[in-house]
Structures are given as structure tokens and as C-alpha cells.
Structure 1
Amino acid sequence: MDIKQIIKEIGRGKLHARHLDLDNATALYRAILGDDVDDLSLGAILIALRIKGEGEEELLGFYRALEDCLPQWSALPHTVVIPSYNGARRQANMTPLLALLLHKFGVNVFLHGIHCDPTRITSAEILAAMEIKPAETIAEGHRQMLDTGFSFMTIDTLCPPLAKQLDLRWHLGLRNSAHTLAKLISPFTAQAGVRLTSVSHPEYLPKVTQFFRDIHAKALVSNGCEGEVYLNPQRPSAIQYVNNDGSDVSEMIPRGVPAQTPLASNKDIETTVNWMHAVLEKKYPIPLPLREQIISSLVVCERFNSLSEAGSWLAEQGY
């Protein structure tokens, strides 16, 4: 593989750069994950990809290389996989609440993300305040899924090579392709479970939905909140559903209106945890966009047969 030629192809700027084909993308990312690319070339590659954006074949090729570094657990019924790689910048981070509510409603939940971010409030920090610790090994995470149906794992345990690339953000000052890929991964085989993911930029929506079609994975895709997967109560997004039969993408939930429900007053960990407990204990209602996201998840992971059935069941439970 000629690294200089690859940099030449992808580094010509947004208008003139070329996307790599599937095989070259796979080989390149396998080399990156294996520490076989020198630091100067790696920085050039990551910045070039940041400027031009990943092509569909590049995204698929990178993921194929990444799969070699991930577990391949067998399917569990009624399972969702939730990424958390951004944290709260302005308002409370509701990803832990989404995960805990789904688990409470009979769904197996695997949550993965970063351990800390000096500029934001991460899901790991919120869960730590609730005395929920991350699994320390892949084997422990698997046991937790089998025994309790819930596990949280940080990316440095789940996939150390990807964690190393994520950390380059603090050297380069910018996010890179690893931040896109981290939101797509799962410790289960490709066709197992449902992946919840979000995009921050509109041009990534067709790329991400096509990616899930290419690997024949079930997924719910939306514009999240501050990079997190939960729907923003103040600017809710539509939810796109990708089935694992490779069929066309469908709109599961149309874009809604801001929810008129109480929210956490700020992003502070203690405030967020107290508010989450109040929602879990039915003292506050679930914000409407989050409730619709939960209903969608209950249907696509086959807990219920329809949105109306899942919604009626939630209402009967007091939610």
C-alpha cells in the first residue's frame, strides 16, 4: 500500500479529492488500527478525511477493518446497542436515561462510549454517580448481558485501537473518522440486535443509512442532541429505520415538535441524576421525543408489534 499515493488522492481538498475504493479503504484502516502508519502520515490522512468527508465505500471499508478488533457475540432477543461519544455541552445528557428506561421496559441494552471528556459531561460520569460501573473486560461485559441484560463498556476496553484514534482529537484539535465509526459499532454479529445512532450533519444521513443497508443491520438513525443519540426535546428529529433485509429506508417517526415536559435544569451531574431518578420513578414524564424514540426501539427490537401497541403499554405502566 502506497501511503503517499493515498494522501495524494484524498488530500486535494473538498472539491478535488477522490474517495478510496472498498479494498484500499479496508487496507488503509487496517494499517491505521495496527499502528503501521507513521504519525505524520496519519495526521495528514485524518485531516484530509475530515475535510472531504468519508465516502460510502470508505466507511464500509473502514468498518470491515474495524470488525477484526471487535467481539462477535451471538444474538440476544430484544437487544439494542447505544453509543455515547459526545456528552453534554449545553443541556443534560439523556443517553443514560434512554438506556435505563429501555432496560426497565424489557430490552437488553449494551451501552458503549468514552470514559471522560474534559469539555463535556459524559454518560460514564453520570452512570458512575448512579454507582453503575463499566465492565472491566469484554468477557465481563458479555456475562453482564447474559445475566442481567445490561452492560456499559468504555471504548478503551471494547476496542483499544479505536480508542487510541479517538484520543488523537486532543492532539489534532478536531474529531476524525473514528468518531463516526464509534457510533456504528456493535459487539454483536452484524445482523444481531438494533443499533441506535445519530448524525450531526445532514450529508451523513444517507451515508449512514446506506452503511447499515450494506452490512444488513437493523438500525434507528436520527439527528441526535449535541452528538448524542437521544432526540433533542427542544428540536426533535425524525427517526429513520433501516431493516436488516437491505430494503429501502423508512421513516419510523416523523419530525415532531418540542416537548412541553419538565427537563433537567442544567447539565450538572447531580442535577441530571436527580432528574433521571424522578423520571424513572414516574414523578416527571418522559420528554415526548424521547418517549417516541423508546416506542420505536421497542417495536424494532420486537418487544411489540406496532407503535400503537408499544405506546399503549407504556401508558398502562404509568409512562
Structure 2
Amino acid sequence: MDIKQIIKEIGRGKLHARHLDLDTATTLYRAILADEVDDLSLGAILIALRIKGEGEEELLGFYRALEAFLPQWPELPHTVVIPSYNGARRQANCTPLLALLLNKLGLNVFLHSIHRDPTRITTVDILDAMGIHPASDTPRALQQLRDNGLTLMTIDTLCPPLAKQLDLRWHLGLRNSAHTLAKLISPFPAQAAVRLTSVSHPEYLPKVTQFFQDIKGKALVSNGCEGEVYLNPQRPSAIQFVDNEGGEAMEIVPRGMPAQTPLAGNKEIATTVAWTRQVLEQQCPVPQPLREQLMSCLVACGRCASLTDAKNWLTKQGY
């Protein structure tokens, strides 16, 4: 592998850089994860990718390299995988609420997250205040999922090499390809669990949906909220469903209306925890955008045959 030539190809700026082919992308990212690329070259590669954006073959190749560094778990029925790598910047982080509601509705939920972010309130911060702590290792996480239908892992436990890539943000001042990849990973077979993922920029939507089509995975893709996967209660987006039958992505939920119900008063941990508990205990209604996201998960997991069935079932459950 000629690192100098790779940098030359991808480092010509947004208008003139070329995307790497699948095999080269796989080989490159495998070397990066194995810590075989020197720091100067790695910085140049990450900045070049940041400027030009990952191509579809690059994204798939990076993921193929990453799979070798992930645990391989057996298939569990009705499972949703939720990534959480941004946290709350302006408004309350609803990812814990989404995960806990799905679990309460009988789905298995695997939640993976960064452990800290000094600039935001993370999902781990909120769940820790609710008495839910990250699993200490991979076997324990899988056992928790089997026993309770819910587990939380931080990326430094789930995939240390990827965690190292994520932490480079604090040295470079910019996010890198690891932040895109972290929102795509799953320890389950590609065709098994339903993955929730979000995009922040419109040009990534076709790339991400194509990625899931390429791996023949199930996914619900939307514009999230501040980088998290839950629908923004104030500016909800449509949800695209990619099944594992090789068909085109379809809009399972159209763009809806902003929530008309009370939300958490601010992003602070105590306020978010109190509001989350009120919604879970049915003392406060689920915001409609999140309710529609619950419905789409029930359909994608096969628990309900249609959105109408899911809506009726949610109503019977008190949500």
C-alpha cells in the first residue's frame, strides 16, 4: 500500500480529489485501525477525507475493515441498534427516552455511545443519572441484553481502535470518518437487527441508504437532532426504511409536524431525567415525532404489520 499515493489521490481538494476504490479503502482503513499508519500521514488522510467527503466505495471499504474489530453476536429477535455520538448541545437529548420506550414496548435495544464530551450532555450522562450504566465488557453486555432486553456499551469497550479514531477530534479540532462509521456499526449479522442512523447533511442520505443496501442490512435513516438519531421534536424529518431484501429505500414516515406537547424545559441532566421519567410513566405524552419513530421501529422489527397497526398498539399501551 502506497500511503503517499493515496494522500495524493484524496488530498487534491473537494473539486479534484478522487475517491478510493473498495479494495484500497478496505486495506487503508484496516491499517489505520491496526495503528500501522504514522501520525503525520494519518492526519493528512483524515483531513483530506473531511474536505472531500467519503465516497460510497470508501464508506463500504472502511466498514469492511472495521468489521474485523467488532464483536460478533448471534441474532436476537426484534432488536434495534441505536448509536449515540453527539449528545445535547441546545435542547434535551431524547436518545435515552427513545431507547427506554422501545425496551418498554418489548424490543431488544443495543445502545452504543461515546463515554464523554466536555462540550455536550451525552446519553451516558443521562442514563448514569437514571441508574443505568455501561457494561464493563462485551460478554456482560450480551448477557444484559438477553436478560433485560437493553444494554449500553461505550465505544472504548465495544471497539477500542474506533474509539481512538474518534478521540482524534480533540487533537485535530474536527470530526473525521470515524464519526460516520460509528453510527453504522452493529455487533449483529448484517441482516439481523434494525439499525437507527441519522445524517446531518443532505448529501449523506443517499450514501448511507446505499451503504445499507450494499450490506443487505435493515435500517431506519433520517435527519436526526444535533447528530443524534431521534427525530427533532421541533423540526421532525422523514424516515427512510432500508430492508434487507435488496429493494430501494422507501419513505416509511413522511416529514411530520412539530410536537404540540410539552418537552423538557432545557438540556440539563436533572431536567432531562425528570421529563424522561414522566413520559415513561405516562404522566406526560410522547412527542408525536418520537411516537412516529417508535411506530417505524415496531414495523421494521416485524412486531407490527403496518404503521396503522403500530399506532393502534401504541395507543392500547397508553402511549
TM-score, normalization: structure 2?
0.99
The equivalent of 1:66 in structure 2 is 66
Sequence identity, in percent? 77
Q: 2:303, 2:248 → 1: CA distance?
A: 23
Q: Deviations over 1:85-124 (max 9, x none)?
A: 0000000000000000000000000000100100000000
SS of 1:80 mapped into structure 2:
strand
The Cα shift of 1:246 comes to 1.4
The Cα shift of 1:252 comes to 0.3
| One-letter code aligned to 1:217 | G
Task: Say what the alpha-carbon RMSD is for the aligned residues.
Answer: 0.5
Q: 1:205, 1:21 → 2: CA distance?
A: 20
| One-letter code aligned to 2:275 | W
The equivalent of 1:152 in structure 2 is 152
> Runs ≥4 in structure 1, deviation > 2 angstroms?
none
SS of 1:151 mapped into structure 2:
strand
| One-letter code aligned to 2:277 | H
| One-letter code aligned to 2:312 | S
- 5+ residue gaps in structure 1? none
| One-letter code aligned to 2:186 | S
The Cα shift of 1:149 comes to 1.2
Q: 1:277, 1:146 → 2: CA distance?
A: 24
The equivalent of 1:8 in structure 2 is 8
Q: 1:305, 1:107 → 2: CA distance?
A: 15
The equivalent of 1:208 in structure 2 is 208
| One-letter code aligned to 1:148 | N
Q: 1:169, 1:56 → 2: CA distance?
A: 23
The equivalent of 1:194 in structure 2 is 194
| One-letter code aligned to 1:190 | A
SS of 1:4 mapped into structure 2:
helix
Q: 1:146, 1:292 → 2: CA distance?
A: 26
The Cα shift of 1:316 comes to 1.2
Q: Deviations over 1:173-200 (max 9, x none)?
A: 0000000000000011111110000000
The equivalent of 1:295 in structure 2 is 295
The equivalent of 2:162 in structure 1 is 162
Q: 2:23, 2:43 → 1: CA distance?
A: 21
The equivalent of 1:77 in structure 2 is 77
The equivalent of 1:313 in structure 2 is 313
Q: How does 1:10-29 map to 2 (within 5 A)?
A: 10-29=10-29
The Cα shift of 1:280 comes to 0.4
The Cα shift of 1:74 comes to 1.2
Equivalenced residue count is 319
The Cα shift of 1:245 comes to 1.2
Q: 1:312, 1:245 → 2: CA distance?
A: 27
The Cα shift of 1:251 comes to 0.3
Q: 2:86, 2:295 → 1: CA distance?
A: 24
